[in-house]
């Protein structure tokens, strides 16, 4: 139902002139489906924003959140203050971490953790006698959130531009070329480079899979030059790639891992940053005058968010959800096979984890830059929600989606693509 009145709500990443009066209002969710305000049902093939890994309306999470609200509704984590759900969660997250003994820093979401990772990386080098190591390298097409450092690291040009001068000491390398990372480290000078940010599979930038051997190579390059390897697994963790943290699909040891989204199955905002023990060490010596990380958000370790995360992890463990991200990668690729070779399509990217993208043909995009928006709309009319990208669409269904739901996607996509060519 179109809005009757203009509403002051300003949406992220939205052309508000077009949104106003045309909002898609979601009112209810259950399993892999959501309903709009006209009562229409949709397969949530984007898991909202890559995060409703368990689908919607899980009573176990609702119960845990409600019980926590009744017991202790809010409390901070500053200084020596703690709460039980945060302590429990940190222990569980550290036990699952790719680097044993990792410390756990909590925050409000993915971008919060990205900026925290930059500060911890730079601070680590300050406190280990290498204060000149401040430079951060990221990848073209990468997405690292919308905070200050995440914006400076942005690999999608439109997200990086138009905000005045970006934070200093950031540069980028082509996303698919490990040798280019080493060249850039040598160009800047290894004594100046603090960190390399890497999404194992680039998400918002177009579901770009790493070339074979890429992850192992960049991890080795970082190690060689004492550059901290930061795996940005905000999308890739929590089963999306079939493993707990995403980066643990490869035999590498990340120094920092940023995650958020699926840790609560998106129910309550929560960011998680894993810090490998050697990076955390200067802050944990206990000696007089040891450095203090003067950083942290009001809602860090919020007990209700941590209770939601603990309940989410319980379900991931009990129902063995995490491996589904790998088991479902071929069925998802099969579901999109109707787009392969379609005249409206340049490329279908799938086959690593339970996420995929359809990129539209360049001539179609040149003739109609609004084509991704129309594709999104046609799919909505088929009862399927996808994520619109600059050049097409992405899908990342809930990890609990089944064959019937993938069949819905399989039949809707070619129909919507056909309509793109006709309209």
Q: Which residues of the chain form contacts with ligand PLP (CB under 6 A)?
A: 109-111, 114, 143-145, 199, 203-204, 232, 234-235, 260
Q: How far is the CB of 262 from ligand PLP (least distance, A)?
A: 11
Our CB check for ligand PLP shows the closer of 112 and 217 to be: 112
Distance CA 394, CA 398 (A): 13
Our CB check for ligand PLP shows the closer of 120 and 420 to be: 120
Residue 411 Cα to chain centre, angstroms: 27
Q: How far is the CB of 234 from ligand PLP (least distance, A)?
A: 3
Our CB check for ligand PLP shows the closer of 361 and 396 to be: 396
Q: Are 410 and 64 in contact (CB under 8 A)?
A: no
Q: How far is the CB of 389 from ligand PLP (least distance, A)?
A: 12
Q: How far is the CB of 238 from ligand PLP (least distance, A)?
A: 12
Our CB check for ligand PLP shows the closer of 394 and 408 to be: 394
DSSP 235: T
Structure tokens at 166: 């970006």
Our CB check for ligand PLP shows the closer of 342 and 387 to be: 387
Diameter of the chain measured on Cα atoms: 72
The CA distances from residue 411 to 67, 133, 321, 359, in Å, are 42, 52, 26, 18
Q: Which residue is nearest to ligand PLP (CB)?
A: 110
Q: How far is the CB of 129 from ligand PLP (least distance, A)?
A: 30
Our CB check for ligand PLP shows the closer of 154 and 307 to be: 154
Our CB check for ligand PLP shows the closer of 263 and 344 to be: 263
Helix (H, G, I), strand (E, B) or coil at 389: strand
* Runs of H (alpha helix) within 20-141: 47-50, 59-71, 84-96, 110-126
Residue 408 Cα to chain centre, angstroms: 25
Structure tokens at 225: 């030059």
B/e letters for 329-367, b = 16+ CB within 10 Å, e = fewer, are bebbbebbebbeebebbeebbbebbbbbbbbbbeebbee
28: CB partners within 8 A, 6+ apart: 34, 35
Angle at 237 between CA 408 and CA 12, to 5 degrees: 70
Which sign, positive or negative, has the C-alpha torsion 143, 335, 371, 362? positive
Residue 66 Cα to chain centre, angstroms: 26
Count of CB atoms situated within 10 Å of the CB of 401: 27
Q: How far is the CB of 406 from ligand PLP (least distance, A)?
A: 23
Q: What is the CA radius of gyration of the chain?
A: 22
Q: How far is the CB of 309 from ligand PLP (least distance, A)?
A: 14
Our CB check for ligand PLP shows the closer of 86 and 257 to be: 257
DSSP 15: -
Q: Are 228 and 256 in contact (CB under 8 A)?
A: yes
Q: How far is the CB of 231 from ligand PLP (least distance, A)?
A: 10
Q: Are 198 and 252 in contact (CB under 8 A)?
A: no
Our CB check for ligand PLP shows the closer of 119 and 278 to be: 119
Our CB check for ligand PLP shows the closer of 111 and 301 to be: 111
Distance CA 167, CA 36 (A): 41
Q: How far is the CB of 118 from ligand PLP (least distance, A)?
A: 12
Q: How far is the CB of 47 from ligand PLP (least distance, A)?
A: 12
């Amino acid at each position: 139902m179109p809005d009757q009145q203009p509403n002051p709500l300003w949406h992220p990443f939205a052309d508000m002139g077009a949104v106003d009066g045309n909002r898609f209002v979601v009112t209810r969710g259950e399993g892999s489906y959501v309903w709009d305000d006209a009562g229409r049902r949709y397969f949530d093939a984007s898991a909202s924003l890559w995060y409703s890994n368990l689908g919607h309306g899980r009573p176990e999470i609702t119960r845990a959140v409600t019980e926590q609200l009744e017991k202790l509704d809010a409390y901070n984590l500053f200084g020596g203050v703690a709460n039980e759900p945060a302590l429990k969660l940190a222990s569980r997250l550290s036990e699952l971490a790719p680097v044993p003994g990792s410390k756990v820093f909590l925050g409000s979401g993915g971008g919060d953790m990205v900026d925290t990772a930059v500060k911890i990386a730079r601070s680590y080098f300050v406190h280990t006698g290498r204060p000149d190591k401040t430079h951060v390298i990221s990848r073209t097409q990468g997405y690292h959130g919308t905070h200050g450092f995440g914006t400076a690291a942005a690999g999608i040009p439109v997200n990086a531009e138009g905000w005045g001068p970006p934070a200093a000491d950031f540069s980028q390398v082509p996303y698919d070329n490990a040798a280019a990372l080493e060249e850039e480290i040598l160009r800047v000078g290894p004594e100046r480079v603090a960190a390399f940010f890497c999404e194992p599979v680039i998400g918002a930038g177009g579901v770009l899979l790493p070339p074979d051997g890429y992850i192992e190579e960049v991890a080795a390059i970082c190690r060689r030059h004492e550059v901290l390897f930061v795996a940005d697994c905000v999308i890739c963790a929590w089963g999306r790639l079939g493993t707990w943290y995403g980066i643990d699909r490869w035999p590498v040891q990340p120094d920092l891992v940023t995650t958020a989204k699926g840790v609560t199955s998106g129910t309550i905002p929560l960011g998680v940053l894993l810090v490998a023990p050697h990076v955390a060490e200067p802050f944990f010596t206990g000696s007089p005058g040891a450095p203090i990380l003067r950083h942290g958000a009001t809602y860090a370790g919020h007990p209700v968010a941590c209770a939601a995360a603990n309940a989410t992890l319980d379900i991931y463990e009990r129902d063995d959800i995490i491996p589904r991200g790998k088991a479902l990668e071929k069925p998802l690729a099969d579901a999109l096979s109707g787009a392969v070779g379609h005249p409206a399509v340049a490329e279908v990217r799938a086959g690593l984890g339970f996420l995929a993208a359809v990129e539209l043909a360049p001539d179609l995009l040149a003739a109609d830059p609004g084509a991704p928006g129309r594709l999104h709309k046609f799919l909505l009319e088929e009862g399927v929600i996808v994520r619109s990208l600059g050049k097409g669409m992405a899908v990342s269904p809930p990890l609990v989606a089944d064959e019937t739901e993938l069949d819905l996607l399989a039949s809707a996509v070619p129909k919507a693509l056909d309509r793109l060519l006709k309209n």
